[in-house]
A and B are shown apart, each in its own frame.
Chain A
């Protein structure tokens, strides 16, 4: 208990300031964190099986959660369709290869191009995108919270689903992209009068098959080296590769960094309160200023780490 007081609370043993706020302790923590980061990098390079990058988002669970939400609202379950999964994988690969985060590529290629290219002739189709989430439930919840994505997820017209979860680097960040594609085959859906051929591709849109043949911008979808092929991916849709520890290196860094920031914020808050209550006079830097700085950082980190949907 005395060690706890010494490390984290203003105490007579630490000159009335938590030891971890002393320059000597701060230097040790900075050094240890830097070494820890170097060690993680080395382990990733030398022993990829132990700490290689691995997504914690099984595509199968995205499908299962989607169907649970639909079932709870009395809607039919969607069938996992290999062609839609292949289309989703190609879309994710294209986003990494061309470095964009959008439904329509910078070259003008729409999501429907990947669906038709995969051999799925659709009457209705839709696409949901997500990135930087750490678990499947958060993704489904984020989609449900957005009216347009929710409309796609709970659309009674869809019969099939395809999901791809791909890790890569997008806009300079290691990212896990989740592409969810919905569809109903042209042969299986009843004809609907007055189909529109002028549906604009936006976030989660249900798209009727145009009455004429779609004319996507001709382009070759370049699959990023190292990404699994569609066939390889489809065999592993239920079980994504996992490393020995079950955490990605970034998750370890994230938890450590946020944990240390939170610890310092708590210690500084206690320091400000205790010093003011006891009217302790010290000759140190301002704990309140440090606290404001750390709180701003935690807010920024929380926002940066939040997943995005499109």
Chain B
């Protein structure tokens, strides 16, 4: 159940990576659009983080490589990002 190298992974699932990029870019656009409303920006960012974790789960499920350890990695990166970005956004 080893992971395939990136080139193979990308060529096998281009739609997965395209979807991830689209979701994150839409989120980025939302962050710019609501630049006057930090609360909405934070909500958009939380949605981006959740979408990212869901993407990871779906991607690895398709890959037949889904495991709790993998889910934890996506979850921890998302929490890490929310904490760091939130501290900048909410100026704490």
Contacts and interface: CB of A to CB of B under 8 A. Distances in A.
Interface of A is mostly: helix
Interface stretch (A55-63, A135-143, A168-176, A184-192): A168-176
Contacts of B6: 272, 275-276, 286, 288
A297 B85 contact: yes
A26 B76 contact: yes
Contact-size category for A: 35 or more
Interface stretch (A74-82, A207-215, A231-239, A301-309): A301-309
Given A257-B88, A281-B4, A282-B2, A292 B24 contact: yes
Interface string A241-264: 000000000100110011011001
Interface stretch (A30-38, A109-117, A154-162, A197-205): A30-38
A258 B67 CA distance: 31
A261 B87 CA distance: 12
A23 interface: yes
Interface string B45-78: 1001000100110011000010101101110110
Nearest to B44: A300
A23 B31 contact: no
A26 B27 CA distance: 24
Contact of A30 (B25, B45, B80): B80
Contact of B21 (A21, A26, A272, A292): A292
Interface of B: 1-7, 9-10, 17, 20-21, 24-25, 27-28, 31-32, 35-39, 41, 45, 48, 52, 55-56, 59-60, 65, 67, 69-70, 72-74, 76-77, 79-81, 83-85, 87-92
Given A33-B80, A282-B2, A283-B2, 20 more contacts: A26-B73, A34-B83, A37-B87, A172-B90, A173-B90, A173-B91, A257-B88, A261-B81, A261-B84, A281-B2, A281-B5, A283-B3, A286-B6, A286-B56, A288-B10, A289-B52, A289-B56, A296-B48, A304-B31, A304-B41
State the 4 A-B residue pairs at the shortest beta-carbon distance, nearest first.
A285-B73, A281-B2, A26-B76, A257-B84
